[in-house]
Amino acid sequence: MATTCPKCGATAGTSAEECPQCGILFSKWQQRESNVASGDTARYAAIANATSSEFNWTILIIVATVVAAIFYFLNLDAPQ
């Protein structure tokens, strides 16, 4: 039974690991397809959105607030 390329439809050999016409790796293509089916693409997109510049600004504000609080408490402990 010959393998048919899921991308371009070319017929590959029975034990072929990759398409002779477009060169995709069948195992990687199937893995990618199953990731899409299980919603991993949405999760990756959510991670990509979470690392946008807006998210980084939020982190910067939180870090700046924590650093300011640390300096505030260090000043409280310091002898007058």
User: Per rule CB under 5 A, is residue 25 in the interface with Zn ion?
Assistant: no
Options 21, 35, 49, 51; binder of Zn ion; rule CB under 5 A? 21
Q: Is residue 45 within 8 Å of residue 39, measured between CB atoms?
A: no
Q: Which stretch binds Zn ion (CB under 5 A): 22-30, 38-46, 62-70, 71-79?
A: 22-30
Does residue 11 bind Zn ion (CB under 5 A)?
no
Q: Under a CB-based contact definition with an 8 Å cutoff, are residues 58 and 46 in contact?
A: no
| Binding residues vs Zn ion (CB under 5 A) | 5, 7-8, 10, 19, 21-22
